[in-house]
Amino acid sequence: MKIIVIGCGKIGVNLISSLVSEGHDVVALDKNAKLVADITNIYDVMGVCGNGADSDVLFEAGVKSADMVIAVTASDELNMLSCFIAKKMGAKNTIARIRNKEYNDNSLGFLKQELELSLCINPELLAAREIYNILKIPSAAKTEKFSVRNFEMIELKLKEDSPFVNEKIMELRSKYTAKFLICAVQRGDEAYIPDGNFILKAGDKIGVTASHAEISKLMREMGMQKSKVRNVMILGGSRIAYYLAKMLTATGNTVTIIDKNRTVCEELSQSLPKAVIVNGDAANQEILLEEGLLSQDAVVTLTGMDEENILISSFAASKNVPKVITKANREELIHLSEHWGLDCFISPKKLVADVLAQYARALQNSEGSSVETLYKLMDDKVEALEFSVRQGLSILRIPFRELKLKPNVLIAGILRNRKPIIPSGDDMLLPDDKVVILAANQKVKDLSDILK
């Protein structure tokens, strides 16, 4: 597909990288000529320098033949205007990044309808939801939900004392009453879709699929069930902090936000009356201890600097805070931090890239299936995709044991009549099912792609 990306900041560059890797024809558009030049030197894309709301600039970028226009500049208003003009000029689909909380709280549906937007995307709200979901299963390093909410996938890091260590996967399900499937393993830089003979080792990162109830049951049986998160300290009064605190206080959690900007604190105290807002430096250890760090169930570091978030998270972990979540966008810093014992990271720019990659694949799908959810796991080496199954698919009603799947591909779950099924060789796909596919080191764009 031909895709125009307006705005080449952190989000834009990460998005361009993701779309190029997916094989799309990408045009990078930004007012900053140096940014455009740098991007065209790194990626095989066309670059256009100019204002994304200028019809002449959009015409030069080829908007009339564009399958998708994505506006991710720093200005919500410019993003909306650029998409509106692009749509009027012939772009098939338009997506705008809209971050302002006033737009997202009240008028998002109206704006989407009137501007004919295909999708509105808010990186900070996506990140807040991701953190909120992790806090509900604090033993997990990552948790993903599919469209039917009672089916989930979590990532776990196996420690030396884990009961899974040195065990064959086929033997584990007989040792636990919980119904689950180990569907992916990352060991060092390699990712695997394991078979039953795969032996797990300490340090492995594993992906587990099951219903929410079965995951909770498994955590209890493994002795990994952490106490429910009640008290949460958020460091940095960002937009993510606002959205997260709003979700947490609505469900009865006690929330403390610390930020050194007094104006930010005053605004948060007005918009979050149930939260405790502290004006102070989150990097100051004495302030953290005075405000009750040692009594927190979870600490979430959301300052504007990756390095500061990592250092504060390391301090919180050293004080045995049960759950520490770190916002970081730089991959190299995340990999370094994992050696210091940090294992739970949130990257807003990566979340946006994943959502838009999912949307682009959904537009390309055949009539027999369509992508509804896409997650990238195990440092992007594994993809989990949820497909909606329709009539006409060639693999309908064929037992899975008779299907010849490609290597490193797994059918990880079926969602039928809102009930999750951990599949066996006797199961099969039926029309209106939703099916979760795991694929390592390859991209699946359609259900037919899983067959040899």
Q: Position 28: which residue type?
A: A
Q: How far apart are CA 258 and CA 237, in angstroms?
A: 7
Any idea what the CATH number is for the domain that residue 200 is in?
3.30.70.1450
Q: Which of 222, 252, 270 is the last residue of a domain?
A: 222
Decide if 262 contacts 279 (C-beta within 8 A): yes
| 8 lies in the same domain as 42 | yes
99 with 163, same domain?
Answer: no
Domain residues for 409? 354-450
Could you tell me which residues are beta bridge partners of residue 325?
A: 300
Total domains in the fold of the chain: 4
**How crowded is residue 243: how many other Cβ atoms within 10 Å of its Cβ?**
22
Tokens at residue 200, please? 């797990």
In whole angstroms, give the CA distance from residue 42 to residue 212: 42
Q: Residue 394: pLDDT above 90?
A: no
Q: Choose between 278 and 149: higher pLDDT.
A: 278
CA torsion through residues 399, 403, 407, 409, sign: negative
The answer on 15 and 114 residing in a single domain is yes
pLDDT of amino acid 297: 95
**Is residue 327, in this structure, part of any structural domain at all?**
no
DSSP 37-52: HHHHHHSS-EEEES-T
**The last residue of a domain, from among 191, 222, 253:** 222
Cβ atoms of residues 87 and 113 within 8 Å = no
**Separation of alpha carbons 350 and 18, rounded Å:** 9
Give the tokens for residue 218. 């498994």
Mean local confidence (pLDDT), 414-430 = 88
Tell me if 234 sits within 8 A of 201, measured CB to CB.
no
User: Is position 8 within any domain?
Assistant: yes
CA distance 5 to 45: 10
Residue 367 pLDDT > 50: no
User: Could you report the per-residue pLDDT of 242-292, keeping only the tens digit for each?
Assistant: 999 999 999 999 999 999 999 999 999 999 999 999 999 999 999 999 999
Tens-place pLDDT, residues 115-141: 999 999 999 999 999 999 999 888 888
Chain-centroid distance of CA 296 in Å reads: 25
- Do 235 and 314 lie in one domain? The reply is yes
**Same domain flag for 370 and 410:** yes
Per-residue pLDDT, 105: 67
For residues 115 and 163, membership in a common domain is answered with: no
Give the closest residue to 162 by CA, choosing from 144, 143, 146, 182. Answer: 182
127 within some domain: no
Q: Quick check: is 339 in a domain?
A: no
Q: Could you report the per-residue pLDDT of 45-102, keeping only the tens digit for each?
A: 999 999 999 999 999 999 999 999 999 999 999 999 999 999 999 999 999 999 888 8
| Residue 166 zone, left/alpha/beta (φ > 0; ψ -120 to 50; rest) | left
Q: Are residues 359 and 429 in the same domain?
A: yes
pLDDT average, residue stretch 100-115: 81
Distance CA 356, CA 386 (A): 15
Residue 186 to residues 49, 170, 182: CA-CA distances in angstroms? 41, 18, 12
Do 252 and 199 fall within a single domain?
no
Do residues 204 and 250 share a domain? no
Considering the domain boundaries, does residue 100 fall inside one? yes
**Average pLDDT in the chain:** 90
Sign of dihedral through CA atoms 131, 133, 138, 143? negative
Judge whether 434 lies within some domain: yes
**Distance, CA of 316 to CA of 330 (rounded, Å):** 21
CATH code of the domain in which 280 resides: 3.40.50.720
Our CA angle for 338, 256, 265, nearest 5°, is 110
Q: Which residues contact 428 (CB under 8 A, 6 or more apart)?
A: 396, 397, 398, 399, 400
**371 and 267 assigned to the same domain:** no
Q: Are residues 204 and 294 in the same domain?
A: no
Residue 337 is assigned to a structural domain of this protein: no
Report pLDDT for 27: 98
| Angle subtended by helix axes 262-271 and 239-250, to nearest 10 | 30
Quick check: is 345 in a domain? no
User: Which ranges of 232-284 would DSSP assign to H, the alpha helix?
Assistant: 239-250, 262-271
